[in-house]
Amino acid sequence: MKNPSVDTHLLPADSGTIGTEPLLAVDNLHVEFTTRQGVVRAVNGVSYALNAGETLAVLGESGSGKSVTAQAIMGILDMPPARVPKGEIRFRGTDLLKLSENQRSQIRGQQIAMIFQDALSALNPVFTVGWQIAEMFRVHKGMSKKDSYTKAIELMDRVRIPAARQRVNDYPHQFSGGMRQRIMIAMSIALDPDLLIADEPTTALDVTVQAQIMELLAELQRDSNMGLILITHDLGVVADVADKIAVMYGGRIVENAPVHDIYRNPAHPYTKGLLESIPRVDMKGQELYAIKGLPPNLLDMPTGCAFHPRCPFRQDNCVTDVPALHAISGTRSSACHYWREVLDGTAG
Amino acid sequence: MAPQGDPILEVRDLVKHFPLTQGIVLKRQVGAIKAVDGVSFELNRGETLGVVGESGCGKSTLAKLLMALEKPTSGTVKVNGEVVDLHKGSNLKRFRRNIQMVMQDPYTSLNPRMTVGDIIGEPYEIHTEVAPKGDRRKKVQDLLEVVGLNPDHINRYPHQFSGGQRQRIGIARGLALQPEIIVCDEPVSALDVSIQAQVINLLERLQNEFGLAYIFIAHDLSVVRHISDRVAVMYLGKIVEIGKDTEIYDKPSHPYTQALLSAVPVPNPEGRETRERIILQGDPPSPANPPSGCRFRTRCWKAQEICAVEEPLLQIRPGTDHESACHFAEVHDVVGAS
């Protein structure tokens, strides 16, 4: 079921994807929610692509649409109120949005898996962790209870939960935050997925535990050549692990680039502002650069470029024209009318 | 330590143990959570002391003790050289006027049924001497202006404001009584990245304007570095290292500080493959049953026999010029990006 015609208006071709279909290609995806106050357009034409073994970081603030995009890929949006009026999500060339719910549930867990920010609420409090990990094997592989428990213990060992054999019958509340996140990871990698989506996996954890979890994810990725989508708002975590970055703002991708390029020289005023607002050692005692204003209200989006009310480089046409995602090079793009000036430092 | 002037806040051997009980009718104490276990430090006028550590290390309990919201098991808190006596109402009231708090979550720390004017003006109901009744509305409007909000919004409710604006309301409430000390417990961690810088700038501006002293509790080490003059690192209820910001960040000598600093992701991908990372194994031990001797020894790569027997004191160690609670303290610049 290979998609015959790949639209050319999407992302600039990714270096690794020329000629072959990437592992995952999200193409012009729109997601909207019907609420009492009106229609909320949470995702407005998002496109990104990911190859096997690659790590894509999706960076954005709350309300930027980063998690909704991930939930659409995973197929766990509640519909209604959610609706996908436009767009494609191609996984190995197959448009997931055209599949039946039955076919999707085959892919979910086996080929695409997800881990969530809050492991305590993502785990069922009334079942043991062993039972919950083993469920993956019982439901998807039809294994016996005994075999699936053996597998669960193996997995707990693999994610380095100490004394796995003794702890397999413990309940989620008996584990610490970091250990719970390891259990979530064990469940997600149980069936060797090709794509793992991690939605803020370490936001609720301490830095020392965050380092452990990120190391574990990197190791699992090396072993199995998984594609990893890391959704986060932490510029530090992104710099540590990502191969490429998609920066989201107001339901759109505003910048798309390999990790080194973006930190060296951002091509969108929002990315530039975020990077400049990080406290730096040589800036001590001085005022931090702060992006003025507030993130947009999705019910009442600004006209033109969604970032224009906060943008220091705003020109007249930013208020009226929505900027397209301009290709800067083979691997980079920016949704700013003045990306050249932002790159050169001559904007404003 | 304190180079100039008298410290405004002096904390000596502060201890807070929460009893663990068993039985319903015949309760008996079977142990204690040693949340804060002997903490001493000083805070000078106009200074910012950052407090960092993992969750469960006692930093929020410390904040509550400083605010006199919890009664310490032992130890003293002195403000302006005067011991705070929690049993004396008038003493406590005077003390509380001088030390205020900014909370972490601006969504739950503001009463949704009160207007902004009532929230910020409420301290005046208790401390009537600060603002006579007729003056209060004007005072509240001034405060709104000081924290960068529109004074005309005095009759609005918290839900009409964004997260960053609510945190400004919380800060205005903290300023209402013109305190000399403000305890900030994770004041920016609930905010969006692009908003955090705005609030940090506001806190710094207010400090310069009013000569405030801050206790700044946070887990974001780069924010702490930016705002703090001195930094205290806590582990399992104790301060393991304390010193000037540059001493802690560039010359950490306690292994825990080194591990903590190396675990912080650096927002710069250059050289990420070669960066030194000390990854601690496991979780911190339970504060109900901390390890003997040095509390960090169960996760420490330098641990020797002496560490299990003798508790290292917080003191200046050979080769360092700030206090460190490690038998084998040794300066090691883990971040390397100073």
Residues 74-113, chain A, touching B (beta carbon < 8 A): none
Residue A163 lies in a domain: no
CB contact under 8 A, A207 and B263: yes
Residue type, A161: I
Q: What is the pLDDT of residues B154-186, one digit of tens each?
A: 999 998 888 888 999 999 999 999 999 999 998
Question: A37 and chain B: CB distance < 8 Å anywhere?
Answer: no
For the residues A209-224, what does the mean pLDDT come to? 86
- pLDDT the model gives residue B15: 93
Contacts of B259 in chain A (CB under 8 A): 208
In which element (H, E) is residue A254 found? strand A252-258
Q: Which residue from B minimizes the CA distance to A239? A: B269
Quick check: is A306 in a domain? yes
pLDDT digits (tens, 9 = 90+) for B300-328: 988 889 999 999 999 888 888 899 999 98
CB B65 within 8 A of CB B36: yes
**Rounded (5°) CA angle A132-A99-A95:** 105
CA distances from A298 to A33, A35, A166 (A): 10, 12, 48
pLDDT score of A55 more than 90: yes
What residues of chain A lie within 8 A of the CB of B106, using their CB?
Answer: none
Partner-chain residue, chosen from B201, B219, B281, that has the shortest CB–CB distance to A207 = B219
Residue among A200, A207, A268 with most chain B CBs within 10 A, to mutate? A207
Averaged pLDDT for residues A247-259: 92
∠A88-A91-A97 over CA atoms, to 5°?
40
Using H for helix, E for strand and C for coil, what is the string for chain B?
A: CCCCCCEEEEEEEEEEEEEEEECCCCCEEEEEEEEEEEEEEEEECCCEEEEECCCCCCHHHHHHHHCCCCCCCEEEEEECCEECCCCCHHHHHHHHHHEEEECCCCCCCCCCCCCHHHHHHHHHHHCCCCCCHHHHHHHHHHHHHHCCCCHHHHHCCHHHCCHHHHHHHHHHHHHCCCCCEEEEECCCCCCCHHHHHHHHHHHHHHHHHHCCEEEEECCCHHHHHHHCCEEEEEECCEEEEEEEHHHHHHCCCCHHHHHHHHHCCCCCCCCCCCCCCCCCCCCCCCCCCCCCCCCCHHHCCCCCHHHHHCCCCCEECCCCCCEECCCCCCCCCCCCCC
Task: Establish if B273 touches chain A: CB-CB under 8 angstroms.
Answer: no
Contact of A233 with chain B, judged by CB distance below 8 Å, is answered with: yes
For the segment A216-231, the average pLDDT, to the nearest whole number, is 90
Q: Check CB contact under 8 Å for B200 and A179.
A: no
* A42: enclosing H helix or E strand: strand A38-50
Check the CA dihedral A238-A242-A243-A246 and report its sign: negative
Region B75-94: what's the mean pLDDT? 82
Q: How confident is the model at residue A348 (pLDDT cuts 50, 70, 90)?
A: low
**Residue A283, pLDDT above cutoff 80:** no
The span from the CA of B289 to the CA of A167, in Å, is 20
**Contact: B225, A178; criterion CB under 8 Å:** no
* A61/B192 touch (CB, cutoff 8 Å), yes or no: yes
Q: Looking at the predicted structure, is the pLDDT value of residue B147 above 50?
A: yes
Query: Does A75 reside within a domain?
Result: no
- The residue count of chain A comes to 348
- Confidence label for A5 from pLDDT (cuts 50, 70 and 90): very low
pLDDT band, very low/low/confident/very high, at A160 (cuts 50, 70, 90): confident
Is A24 in a helix, a strand, or coil?
strand
* CA distance to partner chain B, nearest, from residue A324 (Å): 23
Task: Check residue B274 and give its pLDDT.
Answer: 81
Q: Which residue has the higher pLDDT, B296 or A176?
A: B296
Poorest-pLDDT segment among A17-26, A34-43, B100-109, B219-228: A17-26
B39 in Cβ contact with B61 (< 8 Å): no
pLDDT-above-90 percentage for chain B: 36
Range in A6-15, A19-28, B110-119, B224-233 with the lowest mean pLDDT = A6-15
Domains in chain B: ranges and CATH: 7-20+32-250 (3.40.50.300), 293-333 (no CATH)
What would the pLDDT profile of A58-84 be if each residue is shown by its tens digit?
Answer: 998 888 888 899 999 988 888 888 888
Check if A286 contacts B (Cβ < 8 Å). Answer: no
Domain count, chain A: 1
- 8 Å CB contact of B192 and A295: yes
Output the pLDDT for position A14.
42
In a domain, A38, yes or no: no
The pLDDT of residue A299: 83
Whether residue A13 is predicted with pLDDT greater than 50 in this model: the reply is no
Give me the residue from B162, B225, B337 closest to A279, CB to CB: B225
pLDDT at B48 over 90: yes
- Which residues of A are less than 8 Å from B165 in CB distance? 294
**How near does any CA of chain B get to the CA of A221, in Å?**
16
A299 falls within a domain: yes
Is any Cβ of chain A less than 8 angstroms from the Cβ of B193?
yes
Asked whether residue A12 carries a pLDDT value surpassing 70, the answer given is no
Instruction: Let me know: does B327 contact B312? Beta carbons within 8 Å.
Output: yes
C-alpha to C-alpha distances, A23 to A10, A95, A96, B127, B305, nearest whole angstrom: 16, 12, 12, 64, 53
Q: Is any Cβ of chain A less than 8 angstroms from the Cβ of B215?
A: no
CA dist B73 and B38 (Å) reads 10
Separation between Cα atoms, residue B240 and residue B323, nearest integer Å: 8
Q: What is the DSSP letter of A174?
A: G
Residue A16 pLDDT: 42
Question: What residues of A are in contact with residue B54 (Cβ under 8 Å)?
Answer: 206-209
CA nearest A245 in B: which residue? B269
- Would you tell me which residues 7-66 of chain B have a C-beta closer than 8 angstroms to some C-beta of chain A? 54-55
Is residue A7 scored above 60 in pLDDT? Answer: no
The pLDDT value given to residue A6: 39
* CA distance from start to end of chain B: 23
Q: Do B223 and A210 touch (CB under 8 A)?
A: no
Lowest mean pLDDT among A91-100, A200-209, A220-229: A200-209
pLDDT of residue B5: 64
Instruction: Kindly state whether residue A207 falls inside one of the protein's structural domains.
Output: no
A294 and B198: CB-CB below 8 Å? no
According to the model, what pLDDT value does residue B11 have?
A: 92
Give the burial class of B20: count Cβ atoms within 10 A of its Cβ; 0-12 exposed, 13-18 middle, 19 or more buried. Answer: exposed
Confidence of residue B240 (pLDDT cuts 50, 70, 90): very high
* Amino acid of residue B231: V
Whether residue B115 has pLDDT greater than 90: yes
- Say if A301 falls within a structural domain: yes
pLDDT number for residue B50: 94
Record: contact A277-B201, CB cut-off 8 A:
no
Closest approach of A222 to chain B, Cα-based (Å): 14
- Containing domain of residue A327, as a range? 268-344
> Over 90: is that where the pLDDT of A331 sits?
no
Residue A234: predicted pLDDT: 86
Asked whether the predicted pLDDT for residue A10 surpasses 70, the reply is no
Respond yes or no on whether the N-terminal peptide bond of residue A81 is cis (omega within 30° of 0). Answer: yes
Name every chain B residue with its beta carbon within 8 A of the beta carbon of A278: 222, 267
Q: Is residue A311 in some structural domain?
A: yes
Would you put residue A135 in left (φ > 0), alpha (ψ -120 to 50) or beta?
A: alpha
Cβ separation B195–A239 shorter than 8 A: no
Cβ <8 Å between B268 and A179: no
Report whether pLDDT(B255) > 50: yes
Locate the chain B residue with the closest alpha carbon to A236: B267
pLDDT confidence band for A214 (50 / 70 / 90): confident
Mean pLDDT, rounded, of chain A? 85
Q: What is the interface pTM, i.e. ipTM, of the complex?
A: 0.78
**Average pLDDT of chain B, as a whole number:** 87
Out of B165, B260, B267, the one facing A207 most closely (by C-beta) is: B260
Q: Is B280 on the interface with A (CB under 8 A)?
A: yes
Q: Does A263 touch chain B (CB under 8 A)?
A: yes
Q: How far apart are CA A179 and CA A182, in angstroms?
A: 5
